[in-house]
Structure 1
Amino acid sequence: MLMRLLLVFFVIITPVVATALEGKVVSVADGDTITVLSQGNQQTKIRLYGIDCPEDGQPFGRAAKKFTASLVAGKHVQVTQYDTDRYGRMVGVVTVSGRNINQSIIASGYAWQYRKYCLESFCSDWLGLEKQAKSAELGLWGENDPVPPWQWRTGTRNSSYQKASQGNKSSGSSYHGNVKSRVFHGPNCKYYNCKNCVIKFYSIDEAKKAGYRLHRECVKE
């Protein structure tokens, strides 16, 4: 009787994390979002747990998407669910033939460990993999001061991207973009280090492609 009670107690307090879904990946929306076709021709959108890839339009956004696609597109995957996000997407760890895809993306330098939402015990290991990728300058870590996507989204939410203008002028100086006004400033501008000037660009063309407009008093094309 005592053993039975202990077994029931163990089952109640022990969290169960099991494979929630298996199927074929039919779409890769971005570096951390895929769609899986399971039995019954049901499509389920999956947000990869614990990682955050560059957004589309952000430097390395397309590269991250391409890398994820190279790992999962058209392949049979298993999804272990850890959460459901506010958009109704299943949030989970994806594996292909035993390979942890979330972990591989971080280790290859195409994602950050998602500080705010990566809460499992293995997340500390993922942070270590991120640091190793950064040290080796893999993927996005080959860029100077890459901007975390959660910071990038703060500046682009509810804002539409403007068409990138022609030209590819670059200089040794960097430009600072104001995430609220969507204006970028040169190093000689008095607003260069303003409170909201937290996005760094290394060319006029890069800033414009991100949807920012130049401050004509201090930036000359």
Structure 2
Amino acid sequence: MRYILLLFLLLWPVLAFAFPAKVIKISDGDTIIVLTEDKRQVRVRLFGVDTPEKRQARGRQAADYTKSIAALQTVDVQEMDVDRYGRLVGRVTLADGRVLNAELVANGWAWVYQDYCRTTECRAWEQLEQQARAKRVGIWQDKNPQAPWEWRREQREGGRPAEPKKEAAASYRGNTSSHVFHAPGCKHYDCKNCTESFASREAAIRAGYTPCGVCKP
């Protein structure tokens, strides 16, 4: 049974229903509208990735990037799911063979949406995200970009931050070269490449950093 489940996860992107369509509108960085061959308009939420919302910092730039590589292209849409808003959740392959979902992550305009991205391909996308972070491209140009799911939660709660963000003496420092993070007081805390700050140990680990072997944060 375990073997069958593993085989299904490996083949899921291939087995998912796919159809050709033309991209006619970019709603935001991770949502497009396509026109199918039978002239139906379908709203597609990109599978496994999450870009900043339009009213969020870098949101319009993320949408512009999606527009620059996908607008008016004929693409292949692999149907992965339907979300609670009735949108088709899809993996979109561009005319030149690149996967739009992966391109957004690789160029720094999207997070891998780990709560929903659990295929083997998602693990490769996580590596692309780490590379984009290290190169400081797209959203990673900012010191501490806010994940869109956190921004949306704040909006639901009336625009109030769910938890105050404190980066004073309690913050952790991450080495952008080694991807190791250090606690305050560690002899490596102010190293040359320790330019990434995290409000908590959990935030550093979620970002792909590992604890320092000296200070053991």
Give the shorter-chain TM-score range: 0.5 to 0.7
1:110 corresponds to:
109
Matches within 5 A, 1:65-104: 65-97=63-95, 98-104=97-103
Counterparts of 1:198 and 1:155, CA distance in 2? 13
Note if contact 2:16-2:80 (Cα within 8 Å) is conserved in structure 1. no
Contact 1:82 1:91 in 2 (8 A): yes
Name the CA shift for 1:139/1:19 in 2 (closer, same or farther; >3 Å): same
Q: TM-score, normalised by structure 1?
A: 0.66
**Aligned residue for 1:139?**
138
Q: Residues 90 and 199 from structure 1, CA distance in 2 versus in 1: closer, same or farther, beyond 3 angstroms? A: farther
Greater strand fraction, Structure 1 or Structure 2? 1
Which secondary structure state, in structure 1, belongs to the residue aligned with residue 109 of structure 2?
Answer: coil
Match of 1:179 in 2: 161
Looking at structure 1, the residues matched to 73 and 17 of structure 2 have their Cα atoms a distance apart, in angstroms, of 16
Which 4+ residue blocks in structure 1 deviate beyond 3 angstroms? none
Aligned-residue Cα RMSD (Å) equals 2.2
Q: Aligned partners of 1:53 and 1:85: how far apart in 2?
A: 16
- 1:104-148 CA-to-partner distances (Å, cap 9, x unmatched) read 110000000001000111111101100000000010100010010
1:32 aligns with 2:14: no
Q: Is the 8 A contact 1:75 1:96 kept in 2?
A: yes
> Retained in 2: the 8 A contact 1:103–1:126?
yes
* Letter of the structure 1 residue corresponding to residue 136 of structure 2: E
1:50 aligns with one of 48, 52, 60: 48
Q: Partners in 1 of 2:142 and 2:88 — Cα distance?
A: 31
Equivalenced residues, count: 157
Q: Quote the Cα distance in structure 1 between the aligned partners of 2:166 and 2:51.
A: 17
Counterpart Cα distance in 2 of 1:30 and 1:150: 15
| Identical-residue share of aligned pairs (%) | 39
Amino acid corresponding to residue 92 of structure 1 in structure 2: G
| Contact kept? 1:17, 1:82, Cα under 8 Å | no
* Alpha-carbon distance, 1:71 to partner: 1.0
Quote how far apart the aligned CAs of 1:179 are. Answer: 2.1
Instruction: Tell me the TM-score normalised to structure 2 length.
Output: 0.67
Q: Structure 1: 5+ residue runs without aligned partners?
A: 1-9, 161-177, 181-195, 201-221
